[in-house]
Structure 1
Amino acid sequence: MRFPGRLLVALAATMLATQPVAAQSVLRDAETEAFLDDISAPLIAAAGLEPGNVEIVLINDPSINAFVAGGQAVYIHSGLIEAADTAEEVQGVIAHELGHITGGHVLRYSDGAAAATKISILSLIAGVGAALAGSGDAAIGLLGLGQQAALGNFLSFSRTQESSADFAGADFLSKAGISGRGSLAFFGKLLNQEFRYGYSQSDEAGFYRTHPLSGDRIARLKEVFERDPAWNASANARQQAGFERVKAKLTGYIAKPAATLRDYPESSQTVPALYARAYAYHKSAHVDRALATTDALLARNPDDPYFLELKGQVLLESGRPTEALEPLRRATQLTNAEPLIAGLFGHALIATEDAANFEEAERVLRAAVGRDRYNPFAWYQLGVVYAARGDIPRARLASAEQQVLSGAYALAIRSAQAAEAGLETGTPDWLRAQDIGFEARALLERQCELERGRSCERR
């Protein structure tokens, strides 16, 4: 399910179903998540999936890539957002990945891998037989041919799935009334990359690809899209403006400040340019320039919650938490306590080190984790509040929540045990401590099996 697919990616794909983002970090931002939810909603409906069950997750990885890895989550690399020029291009990618979900392709990957494994095992047996008979060269040849056949079998299986996802994605775009021009434009970018890096377009090279050749995909899809009634549909101007903001924000956050200022120079006074430069100045510790830029954004729209969030973030991370309270409180109100923004506001309240703010911080943070349990930072801050008021069992419970989300499973087990020992038996918090302990043990066992290839000893 990766975009240009090469040999190592194909072999690694079988592991994605068990550990999709092990080596990468998830990027979370309220505005970006709202944007991705917005542009994917009509596609999810067109695919016949329940909106609340599908997640679009942004991964901090510079490669141009997207994949699904079990469940109903679509993982998009930050490099893909940076490479795209329009919201429609991103929608084309999402539609394709939803095709993998509706086709059950991740579940069926084991079928392709199993067939390849059988071929490899048979070649291994034949190779060993030849070696025992005294023909070392023949043994090596048989093993090599067996591996090539196994790889060809697996990649052929993968290319078939990719083609299926292409046409399913085209169908979802059509049903959603979204033009396929963005999808074709993005495949064109992939084709240009193949030529730039010298990837051959020959059939021999195609044998080692998890995806069909991009030129072939474009030709086939172009026929489908040009006949579709949505081909000439106008792009959604609101979504395009949102994409440009999100892309600029991502660039400002990830790229080196010098690169951001080159791509979004002072001469540009557009909202995306101001957004990107505000992050670049903040990363460079030019606090006054960062605040001046956020104020320029707020002058255009004083009630934009994301501009307010940015100003609060700059103030908070510059050691001025008290000044950060007003913009963050307003952003929290305007978004109806969006969990990520509310979590940042709760952090600012705690960072003032004023005990008078702790009650509000607890209220805000409890609401944040109530709506989004998968926010380790908010759990950590809530633990700080509980500890400050002497409620150690709930502080340990909050720590356990944070640790299990962060992958610190052994610590989570100990924190959950300590919380369970201090909480009243049978209460919801006591039951939750038990649940976290069970969850952390299961995840630790799974982690050990993946790393060592066997079950870990029980501690």
Structure 2
Amino acid sequence: MTRWLRLAALLLGSLMLMARPALAQSILRDAETEAFMADMSGDLVKAAGMQPRNVQVMVINDPEINAFVAGGQYVWVHSGLIAQADNVNQLQGVVAHELGHIEGGHVIRTDGIKEATSITLLSLVLGAAAIAAGGAEAGMGIMGLGQQVGMSKYLAFSRAQESSADLAGARYLSAAHLSGKGSLEFFKKLQNQEYRLAIPQENSYGRTHPLSGERINVLREVYTVDPAWDTPPNPQLEARFERIKAKLIGFVSEPQQTLLKYPESDRSIPAHYARAYAWHKSAYPERALSEADALLTAAPHDPYFLELKGQILLESGRPGEAIQPLREAVAKTQQPLIAVLLGHALIATEDEKNYAEAETVLRNAIARDRENPFAWYQLGVVYEHRGDTPRAALASAERFSMIGQDSMALRSADAAMQGLKPGTVDYLRAQDIAMVSRAAVEQKRKRR
């Protein structure tokens, strides 16, 4: 009987894992991309009744065509989705759908999961009783049937959420005066994938999402009568989309693939962008700089082209030359991610005169964006250089806490408290990190 119950518990665990999104992929942070995502989605966020400053659209490094929400007001978009989108309107259609999940509370609602779990647990009890009575085959049959019913309940609940998010997304697009053409075009891309994978198209039973064809049929009736149907994409946003798509492809793809997609004969801004990253990844700094200079010839004071040149110079061992373009980029944007790059360049010169500026730049960057482990690392280098060991330890504690190294965070926080004055802001922060990290370490120890 113990063996059968263990098997049943594994089946139940498999069901519950389906409801948990995977967050193991690496987050891709880029100042230009994050600014574009905020501007591209701002009207949609307002249409959904949320504040744009509270909603973030972030990119994760994953080649699949997918997007999801997973707690808080975050929309996570796969790099593969951006690479496959043909225009900004398609991306807006996807984001509108995901905002529908946030507004609908689908991230935190567990009604369907609870119902599915209760049915499954009931079947385990009945099955165990049958096995105990000597009917092993009958018991396993009851368990299997309960598992099947429970799974079907969960899948039906998931499909209902997806359909609800589709219609909510359509409302947001309409309220923002954005066409639904991009949404339909993207669902057609997904439908083509289903065809290639030979997914049966009769009905969506047994799937977490409705079939793309079903969604297209419903949404077409909504979109085609909307006044915004023939509204073209915003040309400025479209140009920015092509830029961030090209730089993303250049960053995540193999250089050979990037150079095939954006050959030397292509002299457009996106092509120069993509090739700059491809050559930089291939360790050809002069060719990468040539592409960056071509961009700056077209737009001499574009902050993101300046950032690109500064990054190539810095990562090619020329930090002193990187400072000027990075300073200008920071002055024009006040973007904390670019500021951290400038701080890194200032420190990398190993020039005593640059450390004070590096500290100011990094502290300002952290004040606007605390969730940057590399910024804390660089700030810790500055503190260590000037002999402020307690604050260097606190910076390390912040960094280790963010990257999930709880034991190291605890050790660093304890070290910081040894040298900080009790009751100060820094001491209290170190105390908070120590308390949270200690609890996490203890929890991990208990699970072993």
Tell me, yes or no, whether TM beats 0.5.
Answer: yes
Q: In the TM superposition, what is the alpha-carbon distance from 1:15 to its structure 2 partner?
A: 2.3
- What SS does the corresponding residue of 1:215 show, helix, strand or coil? helix
- What SS does the corresponding residue of 1:227 show, helix, strand or coil? coil
1:15 aligns with 2:16: no
Match of 2:3 in 1: none
- What SS does the corresponding residue of 2:43 show, helix, strand or coil? helix
Counterpart-to-counterpart distance in 1, 2:192 and 2:441: 43
The normalised TM-score by structure 1 is 0.92
- What SS does the corresponding residue of 1:230 show, helix, strand or coil? coil
Gaps of at least 5 residues in structure 1 are 1-7
Match of 2:402 in 1: 405
Summarize deviations over 1:33-74 as a string: whole Å, max 9, x none: 001001110001001101121111211111111111121111
Match of 1:179 in 2: 179
Residue type at the aligned position of 2:226 = D
Q: Which runs of 4+ in 1 moved over 4 A?
A: 8-11, 442-446
Counterpart-to-counterpart distance in 2, 1:441 and 1:54: 31
Q: Is the 8 A contact 1:123 1:143 kept in 2?
A: yes
Residue pairs, 1:56-205, within 5 angstroms: 56-108=57-109, 110-203=110-203
Q: In the TM superposition, what is the alpha-carbon distance from 1:392 to its structure 2 partner?
A: 0.4
Q: In the TM superposition, what is the alpha-carbon distance from 1:107 to its structure 2 partner?
A: 1.5
Q: In the TM superposition, what is the alpha-carbon distance from 1:9 to its structure 2 partner?
A: 10
Q: In the TM superposition, what is the alpha-carbon distance from 1:288 to its structure 2 partner?
A: 0.9
Match of 1:342 in 2: 339
Counterpart-to-counterpart distance in 1, 2:417 and 2:132: 61
Match of 1:392 in 2: 389
Counterpart-to-counterpart distance in 1, 2:238 and 2:281: 26
Q: Is the 8 A contact 1:410 1:440 kept in 2?
A: yes
Summarize deviations over 1:100-130 as a string: whole Å, max 9, x none: 111111121x221111111111211222233
Match of 1:292 in 2: 290
- What SS does the corresponding residue of 2:108 show, helix, strand or coil? helix
Counterpart-to-counterpart distance in 1, 2:431 and 2:265: 57
Match of 2:10 in 1: none
The normalised TM-score by structure 2 is 0.94
Q: Is the 8 A contact 1:10 1:209 kept in 2?
A: no
Q: Say if 1:225 and 1:11 are closer, same or farther in 2 by CA, change over 3 A.
A: farther
| Percent identity of paired positions between Structure 1 and Structure 2 | 58
Residue pairs, 1:254-333, within 5 angstroms: 254-333=252-331
Q: In the TM superposition, what is the alpha-carbon distance from 1:209 to its structure 2 partner?
A: 1.0
Of 435, 448, 455 in structure 1, the residue corresponding to residue 432 of structure 2 is: 435
Q: Is the 8 A contact 1:325 1:348 kept in 2?
A: yes
Counterpart-to-counterpart distance in 2, 1:89 and 1:13: 27
Match of 2:6 in 1: none
Counterpart-to-counterpart distance in 1, 2:398 and 2:79: 27
Q: In the TM superposition, what is the alpha-carbon distance from 1:358 to its structure 2 partner?
A: 0.4
Q: Say if 1:112 and 1:442 are closer, same or farther in 2 by CA, change over 3 A.
A: farther
Counterpart-to-counterpart distance in 2, 1:412 and 1:12: 29
Counterpart-to-counterpart distance in 1, 2:230 and 2:299: 33
Q: In the TM superposition, what is the alpha-carbon distance from 1:136 to its structure 2 partner?
A: 2.7
Residue type at the aligned position of 1:321 = P
Counterpart-to-counterpart distance in 1, 2:281 and 2:272: 14
Match of 1:382 in 2: 379
Residue type at the aligned position of 1:117 = T
Summarize deviations over 1:210-231 as a string: whole Å, max 9, x none: 1111101000000000111111
Residue type at the aligned position of 1:274 = H
Taking only aligned residues, the RMSD between alpha carbons, in angstroms, comes to 1.7
Counterpart-to-counterpart distance in 2, 1:358 and 1:418: 24
Of 242, 245, 248 in structure 2, the residue corresponding to residue 244 of structure 1 is: 242
Q: In the TM superposition, what is the alpha-carbon distance from 1:270 to its structure 2 partner?
A: 0.3
Match of 2:9 in 1: none
Counterpart-to-counterpart distance in 2, 1:64 and 1:370: 34
Residue type at the aligned position of 2:267 = Q
Q: Say if 1:10 and 1:147 are closer, same or farther in 2 by CA, change over 3 A.
A: closer
Counterpart-to-counterpart distance in 2, 1:430 and 1:153: 51
Counterpart-to-counterpart distance in 2, 1:398 and 1:13: 37
Counterpart-to-counterpart distance in 2, 1:126 and 1:411: 48
Counterpart-to-counterpart distance in 2, 1:83 and 1:252: 14
Counterpart-to-counterpart distance in 1, 2:192 and 2:439: 45
Match of 2:4 in 1: none
Q: In the TM superposition, what is the alpha-carbon distance from 1:13 to its structure 2 partner?
A: 4.4
Q: In the TM superposition, what is the alpha-carbon distance from 1:442 to its structure 2 partner?
A: 4.6
Counterpart-to-counterpart distance in 1, 2:34 and 2:87: 17
Q: Is the 8 A contact 1:10 1:155 kept in 2?
A: no
Match of 1:5 in 2: none
Q: In the TM superposition, what is the alpha-carbon distance from 1:445 to its structure 2 partner?
A: 5.7
- What SS does the corresponding residue of 2:57 show, helix, strand or coil? strand
Between 247-256 and 133-142, the greater mean CA deviation after superposition: 133-142
Q: Is the 8 A contact 1:93 1:183 kept in 2?
A: yes
Counterpart-to-counterpart distance in 1, 2:440 and 2:280: 37
Of 213, 216, 219 in structure 1, the residue corresponding to residue 214 of structure 2 is: 216
Q: Say if 1:266 and 1:12 are closer, same or farther in 2 by CA, change over 3 A.
A: farther
Counterpart-to-counterpart distance in 2, 1:112 and 1:329: 52
Q: Say if 1:301 and 1:184 are closer, same or farther in 2 by CA, change over 3 A.
A: same
1:43 aligns with 2:44: yes
Q: Say if 1:9 and 1:93 are closer, same or farther in 2 by CA, change over 3 A.
A: farther
Residue type at the aligned position of 2:317 = G
- What SS does the corresponding residue of 1:76 show, helix, strand or coil? strand
Residue type at the aligned position of 1:300 = A
Q: Is the 8 A contact 1:252 1:280 kept in 2?
A: yes
